[in-house]
Chain A
Amino acid sequence: MDLPLDLLLQLFFKSIGLWWVILPATLIGIVVGILPGFSAQNTLIMLLPLTLSMSVEAALAFMIALYCATQLGGGIPAILFNMPGEGGAAATTLDGYPMTRKGQAQQALVLCFSASAFGGLITTVITILALPALSRIGFYIRSVEMIAFMFFGLTLIAAIASKDVLKGLIAGFLGLMIGAIGSDPVFGTPRATFDLLELYDGVPIIAALVGLFAISEAFCMLEEETVIQASALADAKRARWADTLDGLRMTLRYSWQTVWTSLIGLFIGILPGAGATIAAFLAYHYSKLLSRTPELYGTGHPPGVIAPESANNGVTSGTLVPVLALGIPGGATGAVMMIVLSYNGIVMGPRLFTDKPEIAYGVFVQMFVAYLLMIALILPLARYMSRVVWIPTRFLVPVILAMIAVSAFAEREYIFDMGLAVLFGALGYVARRTGYEVTAILVGVLLGPLFETYLLRSLRVGQGDPMILFSSPIGNAIWLMSVAALVLPWIRARRRNGVLARAAAAGNE
């Protein structure tokens, strides 16, 4: 199919004309992204009457800008307070927050904004260029490939555990056990729910997220005067525009990182049932695995912020591919967008590209424009946002805890979830103080249920034959990557510190 360049140009200028929709949607999206528990799909559902009353172009621009900005906004509290606003930003805490602690909050925010926006721009362009081919990815990825993907994601626990293997694995398995709570994915039989209705759908992710990260971190914050290390405070208070430029320089330095990790996001976004959280963790995992300096990850290393942020924004265009090309939404946000498109009499599928190319391509052109406007809007704010961390923790923590309480409640509107968040907060605090990685627990909670679902589904497809798990060439390649992910860090460590290093040294002598 030839690319209709004239149409794309027309759509570009038309989309810029919709700035009056894109800017407020971006601001709403950033706020929604900052607040854990407020997701893009819930907000879009709440605003459905508004979008249904707009023209289809304006409605799409509004929804797309809001959706993209949500992914970007989630990284802000992750970097400033170690509290991810969205599941997709949980991996951003790993290096974003250590940068803040070192007095580099502004640089970290700029990295987050630029990686998000450039990641979004890159994947949007690629999607426009290769839409028909991309729409077929879903046909090649089945349960057996997904189970391999999920296993690869779980190997992240081992990577996190590399600092202290036993504690890391204990934390990961604890997460997996917590993730197994709820109705089983085949027959819907409740397990370990203690007859609590609130747990039938499993442990609510937002309560776990805010508890493990935000509440436990808030407790830890109270032990210090400010979020920033005392030694870095004076430096951080000199926040200048030069720091913004420094952040941009870092982004440019790792620009290739932005490209390939955003492609991971695009790919994961196209697959049904995956999503931004998985994409961000996988991108972080790959980034660390393929890095020449993996030991710097977790200490405030810029690629550790770039990888998850560009990936979770890459997901945004990926999610819309099956919606437009096949009429099959991969997630709730796509489903809500489908409602609006259907309401305007637009039928999704390949014919959309011939019948209404202005809609099919328009969606991605609007996304492109949304990211362009977003970066112009938010980059200058990094300098001011980073100042929040100067506030003494005795003022900051009560505000954060109040917001967290609302966030835990907002997703399902259960008081129970607020209590659960506190429980996870206590667990997270104990884990932090005793050297157990809360991220390993979260990876278990997040990936455990998905791993189980795809495992049971694959075994059912294989009619009980476990060899089905190794029946796909793509799946087998991913299994091999998982093994490599487990073995490579071990070999590297041995080479650096162990037998091989000593052997090499002995050889030199």
Chain B
Amino acid sequence: MSGKLVSRRRMIGGMAALGALGLSAPARAQAGYPAKGFKVIVPTGQGGGADVLVRAFTPSWSPFLNNQSFEFEYQPAASGQVAYELFLGKREHDGYNLLFGNMGPETIMYVTQGPKYKFPGDYIYFCGVDIDDCGISARKDSRYKAIGDVIEDGRKRTLNIAVTRIPHPGTIGLLILSEQTGCKFNIIPYAGGNQATTALMNGEVDLLGGGISGVPFEANGTLRVLTVFNRTKNQLAHINDNAPLANVALGVNMPDLYTSRSFAIHADWAEKNPDSFRLLKETSAKVFAVPKFKEDISKTPQPWDVVKYADQETCMAYARGIAEFAAQFKSQLTAKK
């Protein structure tokens, strides 16, 4: 470990070398794609879940891509809509500009806001990196010990529930659950996971909705996952005290609702450059078997169990499915009649 650390001598030497580098412009050209570094637009803020994940992923992807570098740009405005507008409207469609987005929330935003770009025509999600099931969580010391307690109370009064943002698969899950059980939720967006968690911790809200992978690690382990919006399996049962599936615990019929982050590329470039696009797809799939990637993930709050590869077809099917739900609940997601 100490071999790679920066010592005083190395730092001073490095600064001198950096100065020298400015004087001599490197002239190095590589044949074939990719011949230069990639730029990645991240539609969320610095230090967020997507940032952590993409920074863990790209160092293991780079060796498959002529050791090209990855440069990140963060555009969280309007729940990611700005990032897509920039990616599609103002960045070159040259195979070197990528987007690493939260497919669920950003597809919902697409449906509810009706931007100028077209999905699925303009861009292709081609490498899903994780699957984070949505669900409901509460403080361990709250009166809600099980999801049944929530439903019972929610039939008597409207429950305040914090979400990171309204356009989110977790919100759709809450709306479906409300329809099927008669439980009333007052959904409050907090513009980020940290603020939503703080609102639950300080008692401003009764519950927390949304992705559940980070919940066991947040707020010093004082939160409990009450239910998971997954039809078949709680993939994180071993870290969330075997939280029950909503369909099993409540006898409802809810679909799988999860968030998933994926790389996207311009559709017209992919069509014109099928070999290069294939290279991106094949090499990104290989990253999941690279030990360094697993090692880097272990250094993040993200559990390895949620890191799952999804190919182009799976990603696009997921986004289309979310788009259908968003259209179905558009009035609740936009407060427009």
Question: CA separation between A322 and B191, bound complex, in Å?
Answer: 18
Question: CA separation between A21 and B10, bound complex, in Å?
Answer: 12
Kindly list chain A residues whose C-beta atoms are within 8 Å of the C-beta of B46: 41, 45, 332, 335-336
Chain B binder among A68-76, A341-349, A426-434, A497-505 = A341-349
Nearest chain A CB to B89's CB is how many angstroms away? 8
Closest A residue to B4 by beta carbon equals A53
Closest B residue to A341 by beta carbon equals B299
| Contact call A329/B77, Cβ cutoff below 8 A | no
Query: Assuming A188-B166, A339-B47, A460-B186, is B198 touching A328 (CB within 8 A)?
Result: yes
Question: CA separation between A208 and B202, bound complex, in Å?
Answer: 34
- Provide 17 A-B residue pairs closer than 8 Å at the C-beta atoms, listed in order of the A residue: A20-B8, A24-B11, A53-B4, A139-B201, A139-B202, A187-B166, A187-B333, A200-B85, A273-B195, A327-B220, A330-B194, A335-B47, A339-B52, A342-B300, A457-B190, A460-B160, A461-B188
Residue A506 lies at the interface, judged by CB distance under 8 Å to chain B = no
Interface flags for A195-233 (1: CB within 8 Å of B; 0: not) read 001001110000000000000000000000000000000
Interface flags for B206-239 (1: CB within 8 Å of A; 0: not) read 0000000000011111000000000000000000
Residue B255 lies at the interface, judged by CB distance under 8 Å to chain A = no
Residue A50 lies at the interface, judged by CB distance under 8 Å to chain B = yes
Residue B310 lies at the interface, judged by CB distance under 8 Å to chain A = no
Kindly list chain B residues whose C-beta atoms are within 8 Å of the C-beta of A197: 82, 85-86, 89
- Which residues of B from 61 to 81 have beta carbons under 8 Å from A? 72-73, 76-79, 81
Kindly list chain B residues whose C-beta atoms are within 8 Å of the C-beta of A457: 188, 190
Candidates B12, B82, B109, B202; contact of A20 at CB < 8 Å: B12
**Contact surface of A with B, Cβ cutoff 8 Å:** 20-21, 24, 41, 45, 48, 50, 53-55, 58, 138-143, 182-183, 185-190, 197, 200-202, 272-273, 322, 326-330, 332, 334-336, 338-339, 342-345, 347, 349-351, 413, 453, 457, 460-461, 463
Query: Assuming A54-B5, A328-B197, is B77 touching A201 (CB within 8 A)?
Result: yes
Kindly list chain B residues whose C-beta atoms are within 8 Å of the C-beta of A58: 5-6
Question: CA separation between A367 and B228, bound complex, in Å?
Answer: 42
Question: CA separation between A261 and B5, bound complex, in Å?
Answer: 39
Nearest chain A CB to B83's CB is how many angstroms away? 10
Candidates B48, B167, B191, B202; contact of A453 at CB < 8 Å: B191
Nearest chain A CB to B37's CB is how many angstroms away? 13
Kindly list chain B residues whose C-beta atoms are within 8 Å of the C-beta of A182: 77
Kindly list chain B residues whose C-beta atoms are within 8 Å of the C-beta of A332: 45-47
| Contact call B194/A342, Cβ cutoff below 8 A | no
Kindly list chain A residues whose C-beta atoms are within 8 Å of the C-beta of B85: 197, 200
Interface flags for B94-118 (1: CB within 8 Å of A; 0: not) read 0000000000000001001100000
Question: CA separation between A50 and B109, bound complex, in Å?
Answer: 36
Question: CA separation between A24 and B72, bound complex, in Å?
Answer: 25
| Contact call A344/B299, Cβ cutoff below 8 A | yes
| Contact call A342/B299, Cβ cutoff below 8 A | yes
Closest B residue to A21 by beta carbon equals B11
Residue B51 lies at the interface, judged by CB distance under 8 Å to chain A = yes
Residue B253 lies at the interface, judged by CB distance under 8 Å to chain A = no
Question: CA separation between A418 and B299, bound complex, in Å?
Answer: 40
| Contact call A338/B299, Cβ cutoff below 8 A | no
Residue B301 lies at the interface, judged by CB distance under 8 Å to chain A = yes
Candidates B8, B51, B78; contact of A188 at CB < 8 Å: B78
* Most central of A138, A328, A344, A460 by chain B CB within 10 Å: A328
Nearest chain A CB to B169's CB is how many angstroms away? 16
Question: CA separation between A349 and B220, bound complex, in Å?
Answer: 6
| Contact call B45/A188, Cβ cutoff below 8 A | no
Question: CA separation between A336 and B48, bound complex, in Å?
Answer: 9
| Contact call B78/A200, Cβ cutoff below 8 A | yes
* Most central of B2, B51, B77, B335 by chain A CB within 10 Å: B77
| Contact call A336/B47, Cβ cutoff below 8 A | yes
Closest B residue to A325 by beta carbon equals B220
Nearest chain A CB to B202's CB is how many angstroms away? 4
| Contact call A463/B158, Cβ cutoff below 8 A | yes
Closest B residue to A141 by beta carbon equals B202
Closest B residue to A202 by beta carbon equals B77
Query: Assuming A142-B204, A457-B190, is B6 touching A343 (CB within 8 A)?
Result: no
Kindly list chain A residues whose C-beta atoms are within 8 Å of the C-beta of B146: none
| Contact call B195/A272, Cβ cutoff below 8 A | yes
Nearest chain A CB to B79's CB is how many angstroms away? 5
Kindly list chain A residues whose C-beta atoms are within 8 Å of the C-beta of B220: 326-327, 349-351
Question: CA separation between A273 and B45, bound complex, in Å?
Answer: 14
Residue B55 lies at the interface, judged by CB distance under 8 Å to chain A = yes
Question: CA separation between A19 and B31, bound complex, in Å?
Answer: 45
Kindly list chain B residues whose C-beta atoms are within 8 Å of the C-beta of A460: 160, 186, 188
Given A142-B203, A201-B78, A460-B160, 11 other A-B residues pairs in contact with their CB atoms under 8 A: A138-B201, A143-B199, A187-B166, A188-B165, A200-B78, A328-B218, A336-B47, A339-B52, A343-B299, A349-B221, A461-B186
Kindly list chain A residues whose C-beta atoms are within 8 Å of the C-beta of B8: 20
Nearest chain A CB to B268's CB is how many angstroms away? 20
Closest A residue to B12 by beta carbon equals A20
